[in-house]
Homo-oligomer: A and B are copies of this chain.
């Protein structure tokens, strides 16, 4: 008994040391997050050289703290201890990160970092000049380096699966592939049917020119409406909208384009979903995995739930359109139904992922996924990317890019060396539908609540089922815990078939 108690006190002490160490690492990472926000939002343009050095110093310090022998010793000691569930989960998360970071040689990390730093301007210029060949050697180098990186982490695993796990560590690649394949199989005919439909949606509801300042006021309106916590947040503009921060300070950025009121509004709602997740993480677990968000699939489920299931819904437009008309008199005569249709039109000629509608979006993702998976496996050569890209666009979406700038050069991700990131966009949207269905099941009448502008219950449900757990559960366990079911694309497909079947009056849906 005395021995047990002594042992247990020993564990407590070790766990405290562990917590202190990982909290310090988190604090360094969160400081870097503020520096990146600053860089995107407020930094003077010539601040880059110093900022790059500051970020690189913080990243090295964080890496050294994580991969130090002391971290390894603490992990080993805790893994052989009798820990509670929460502590065990925190140890699991840090162990995963520790194993990955200790297995990749520092020189390779630095080479990747240097190559991506140079890749960005190369990609940008290649895109501007519509010249894939300028970017090809860099892309080839990055593919090679990331293969090598994956090999260090797990020489026995499919390298693409290893890379994918950097963004989504717990849904295995088979699951991801199965879901993406199913999306392709079921969405391609749905989109075909839509393109064959004679229905004309009210697509010009939001046509016009809209002043930036008024758009900003409206963005604040919608954040107020959804319940954004301004005491812990703020809204700014950035060229590529993002949200970042911690449960004490989770900020939203958006952008305003004079001729795209709807795009700005949905982007703001999307980023609200991310920030709102962060704000729901438990205060008391700040600095540990229990106070940190689950990975990208879950994060994207939160942004897509608010963007698509709330912000593109009929009851939302019934409720919010008058607020829009208060800011923009030209919308006074628009009906909620017209706004709903405009927010849900499916484009038949769009080549650009970030401008895609809710439905075709996933085929943009499937194409990138198939290409990057084959690049990493070696089944596809870099030089063949443009043609394969264009063929797939023709096959899945019925449009063929005429230039690489609006084809395979459109996205920044590969210049960052981010192979395996794209799938989480679709996996998150799929999860959003599953969560929304479960919330409807539990709470009932979500449509009525949204139409009444009542978001507290929905948000309370998300807080309880998802946010407050931080990274305690793995993704599959979290989904199971939140919905009572395994992760599935059923709800997403039911949802889009129902919605678009009705909108476009498709008999077979």
Contacts and interface: CB of A to CB of B under 8 A. Distances in A.
Interface of A: 23-24, 27-28, 30-32, 34-35, 38, 42-51, 53-54, 56-58, 60-61, 230-234, 246-249, 251, 283, 286-287
Contact of A248 (B46, B232, B286, B287): B46
Given A31-B35, A35-B34, A38-B34, A233 B44 contact: yes
A26 to B, nearest CB: 9
Contacts of A60: 24
B35 A248 contact: no
Contacts of A23: 53, 57
Contacts of A233: 44
Q: Is the interface of A mostly helix, strand, loop or mixed?
A: helix
A417 B167 CA distance: 46
A57 B44 contact: no
21 contacts: A24-B61, A28-B57, A28-B58, A31-B35, A31-B58, A34-B38, A42-B42, A43-B249, A44-B230, A44-B232, A44-B234, A44-B251, A45-B231, A46-B231, A46-B249, A49-B248, A49-B283, A50-B246, A50-B248, A50-B286, A61-B61
Contact of A27 (B27, B43, B57, B246): B57
A316 to B, nearest CB: 26
B28 A61 contact: yes
A453 to B, nearest CB: 24
A27 B56 CA distance: 9
A231 B43 CA distance: 9
Contacts of A287: 53
Copies in the complex: 2
A27 B42 contact: no
Given A31-B35, A31-B57, A44-B233, 14 more contacts: A24-B60, A24-B61, A28-B61, A30-B54, A34-B35, A43-B249, A46-B249, A47-B232, A50-B246, A50-B247, A50-B249, A50-B286, A51-B249, A53-B287
A43 B48 CA distance: 22
A355 B246 CA distance: 39
Contacts of A42: 42, 234
B232 A24 contact: no
A46 B43 CA distance: 23
Nearest to A287: B53
Contacts of A35: 31, 34
A35 B248 CA distance: 14
Nearest to A43: B249
A47 B42 CA distance: 18
A283 B234 CA distance: 33
Contacts of A30: 50, 54
A233 B42 CA distance: 10
Contacts of A232: 44, 46-47
Nearest to A234: B44
B286 A47 contact: no
Query: Which of A38, A43, A57, A247 has the most CB atoms of chain B within a 10 A radius of its CB?
Result: A57
10 shortest interchain CB distances as A-B pairs: A47-B249, A27-B57, A50-B248, A46-B231, A27-B54, A31-B54, A46-B232, A47-B248, A50-B246, A24-B57
A54 to B, nearest CB: 5
Contacts of A46: 231-232, 248-249
A42 B40 CA distance: 14
A48 B248 contact: yes
Nearest to A31: B54
A290 to B, nearest CB: 15
Contact of A286 (B49, B58, B286): B49
B28 A249 contact: no
A251 B43 CA distance: 9
A21 to B, nearest CB: 11
A37 B28 CA distance: 17
A444 B54 CA distance: 42
Nearest to A61: B61
Contacts of A27: 53-54, 56-58
A61 B42 CA distance: 26
A62 to B, nearest CB: 10
